[in-house]
């Protein structure tokens, strides 16, 4: 092709923006279309694990995330008596990959991505409502009557993806019957040292406390409840506190100090995995392709890996449509593994009876160190060798 490949990206979330950074980096012409009237800056925190940072590095992109968030130094799993169940080898495995895992606010991650992009390529208030393909290219129509053409369309339009419906029809939602509360707050406590992460496991409830740098702590809590109640949650932080009565003081302290209006709630949900990600000149990326429960903290990380692999394939293959199919072929097994592990781990972590919680605690406490390390290596190691490229 004599002209640069023109790629249209639907959605300016973490997945869409990362794809834009990677595809611009390899010389594509890129247009990003976001349905919201402005780029969303609110939101909570995220972990961008070592595998995602390695994926970007493999294609020559470095977001310098350590300057935007907090590199992970210690990850503890504790019970509600405040006893340490196990320290997880995430910092060591990340370092052995050559890349820290970083905890960061969504806002800061978005800033890090936008820093790499010319803002003129991002079009807001543009909701994709129609897709038409021909031998020459793909046309995308928007709710306000706008239209654009390109060589390829990447559906990075999230959990309720229009592009996914175009590719594979409507997919069922799998409700997990628990709520997630999320907040970022300024908070200091001697337990929370730089790069500290603690997950507290209770009966049908959990809390995570995460340093994201700059004096800010990202905390999330979960509690089993019917999806209907979780979806329409209207409670205050006092109501949330009532779920954690008798838990370590740090838990009630941080919740009490967070204004109600700063706490977001979402019902936990994913979709059963599907291996149909694309057709013709269209493919999917991020939550549009593989929405997963949050247990592994890898939803955004998988979107970032997708973007890197897509970049490698478009660089390697002369035929862009063949590159999309090769991208899907490479990504599907690993994405499916993450969706499945997130689901089974979520069931384990939301166990609600004293006996099953004790079993869960014992299983983690007595897991041989080498097994634990191998499990994390499988998750945190970006499989760059499978791409036929030399790691940078
Ligand atoms: C409670 C919770 C905690 C999480 N914690 C972590 C974590 O610690 N680590 C981690 O890696 N991941 C985490 N995740 C997952 C992570 O947030 C998502 O996997 C990730 O943000 C997905 O990014 P995305 O770009 O694919 O989708 P989204 O962020 O949903 O972006 C999709 C974008 O597309 C736009 N859009 C939708 N439809 C259209 C349309 N028709 N036309 C144009 N634009 C459209 C949307 O407005 C949106 O901006 C968490 C998720 C939740 C819910």
Domains and CATH numbers, the chain: 1-37+124-171+272-347 (3.50.50.60), 42-105+173-270+351-382 (3.30.9.30)
Q: How far is the CA of 142 from the centre of ligand 1 (A)?
A: 20
Q: Which of 308, 350, 306, 344 is nearest to 328 (CA)?
A: 306
Q: Which residue has the tokens 């060591």?
A: 92
Atom of ligand 1 nearest to the CA of 40: 49
Ligand 1 centroid distance, CA of 299 (Å): 8
Cα of 159 vs centre of ligand 1, distance in Å, is 7
Query: What phi, psi does 135 have (nearest 5°)?
Result: -65, -30
Residue nearest to ligand 1 atom 50, measured at CA: 294
pTM, entire model: 0.97
Distance 78 CA to ligand 1 centre (A): 28
Q: How far is the CA of 228 from the centre of ligand 1 (A)?
A: 21
Task: Tell the residue nearest (CA) to atom 9 of ligand 1.
Answer: 297
Q: Which of 10, 11, 50 to mutate to test the pocket of ligand 1 (most atoms within 8 A of CB)?
A: 11
* Ligand 1 atom with the shortest distance to the CA of 301: 11
**Interacting residues of 25 by C-beta distance below 8 A, sequence separation 6+:** 59, 60, 61, 116, 311
The binding-site residues of ligand 1, defined as CB within 6 angstroms of any ligand atom, are 10-16, 33-36, 40, 46-47, 127-128, 156-159, 162, 180, 182, 266, 286-288, 294, 297-301, 303
Residues 124 and 91: their CA atoms lie apart, in Å, by: 38
pLDDT score at 389: 67
Whole-number pLDDT of residue 323: 98
Whole-number Å distance, alpha carbon 267 to ligand 1 midpoint, is 14
Spatial distance between the Cα atoms of 2 and 346, rounded to a whole number of angstroms:
49
Residue 90 Cα to ligand 1 middle (Å):
24
Q: Whose CA is nearest to atom 52 of ligand 1?
A: 294
Whole-number Å distance, alpha carbon 144 to ligand 1 midpoint, is 23
Atom of ligand 1 at shortest distance to CA of 44?
A: 3
Helix and strand numbers, DSSP H then E, in the chain = 12, 19
Residue 392: the pLDDT is: 41
Residue 146 backbone phi and psi in degrees, to 5:
-65, 165
- What pLDDT tens digit does each residue of the chain (392 aa) get? 468 999 999 999 999 999 999 999 999 999 999 999 999 776 799 999 999 999 999 999 999 999 999 999 999 999 999 999 999 999 999 999 999 999 999 999 999 999 999 999 999 999 999 999 999 999 999 999 999 999 999 999 999 999 999 999 988 999 999 999 999 999 999 999 999 999 999 999 999 999 999 999 999 999 999 999 999 999 988 899 999 999 999 999 999 999 899 999 999 999 999 999 999 999 999 999 999 999 999 999 999 999 999 999 999 999 999 999 999 999 999 999 999 999 999 999 999 999 999 999 999 999 999 999 999 999 999 998 878 764 44
Give the ipTM of the model, two decimals please: 0.96
* Alpha carbon nearest to ligand 1 atom 29, residue: 13
- State the distance from the centre of ligand 1 to the C-alpha of 107, rounded, in angstroms: 13
Choosing from 158, 173, 380 the residue with most ligand 1 atoms within 8 A of its CB, the one to mutate for a pocket test is 158
CA of residue 369 to ligand 1 center, whole Å: 33
Cβ atoms of 276 and 164 closer than 8 Å: no
């Amino acid at each position: 092709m004599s002209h640069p490949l023109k790629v249209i990206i639907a959605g300016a979330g973490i997945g869409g923006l990362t794809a834009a950074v990677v595809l611009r980096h390899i010389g594509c012409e890129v247009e990003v279309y976001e349905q919201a009237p402005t780029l969303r800056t609110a939101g909570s925190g995220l972990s961008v694990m070592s595998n995602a940072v390695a994926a970007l590095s493999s294609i020559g992109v470095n977001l310098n995330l350590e300057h935007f968030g907090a590199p992970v130094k210690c990850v503890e799993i504790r019970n509600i008596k405040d006893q340490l169940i196990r320290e997880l080898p995430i910092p060591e495995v990340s370092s052995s990959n050559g890349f820290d895992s970083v905890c960061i606010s969504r806002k800061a991650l978005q800033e890090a991505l936008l820093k790499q992009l010319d803002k003129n390529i991002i079009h807001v208030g543009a909701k994709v409502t129609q897709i038409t393909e021909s031998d020459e290219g793909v046309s995308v129509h928007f709710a306000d009557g706008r239209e654009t053409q390109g060589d390829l369309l990447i559906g990075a339009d999230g959990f309720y993806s229009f592009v996914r419906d175009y590719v594979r029809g409507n997919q069922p939602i799998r409700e997990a019957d628990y709520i997630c509360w999320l907040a970022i707050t300024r908070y200091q406590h001697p337990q929370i040292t730089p790069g500290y992460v603690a997950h507290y496991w209770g009966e049908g409830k959990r809390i995570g406390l995460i340093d994201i740098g700059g004096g800010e702590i990202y905390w999330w809590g979960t509690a089993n409840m019917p999806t209907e109640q979780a979806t329409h949650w209207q409670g205050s932080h006092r109501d949330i506190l009532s779920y954690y009565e008798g838990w370590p003081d740090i838990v009630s302290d941080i919740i009490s100090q967070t204004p109600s209006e700063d706490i977001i709630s979402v019902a936990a949900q994913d979709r059963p995995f599907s291996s149909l990600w694309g057709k013709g000149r269209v493919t999917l990326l991020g939550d549009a392709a593989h929405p997963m429960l949050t247990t592994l903290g890898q939803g955004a990380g998988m979107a970032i890996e997708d973007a890197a692999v897509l970049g490698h394939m478009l660089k390697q293959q002369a035929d862009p449509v063949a590159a999309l199919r090769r991208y899907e072929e490479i990504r599907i097994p690993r994405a499916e593994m993450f969706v499945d592990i997130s689901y089974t781990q979520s069931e384990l972590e939301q166990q609600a009876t004293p006996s099953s919680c004790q079993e869960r605690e014992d299983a983690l406490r007595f897991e041989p160190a080498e097994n634990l390390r191998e499990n994390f290596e499988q998750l945190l190691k970006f499989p760059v060798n499978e791409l036929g490229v030399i790691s940078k």
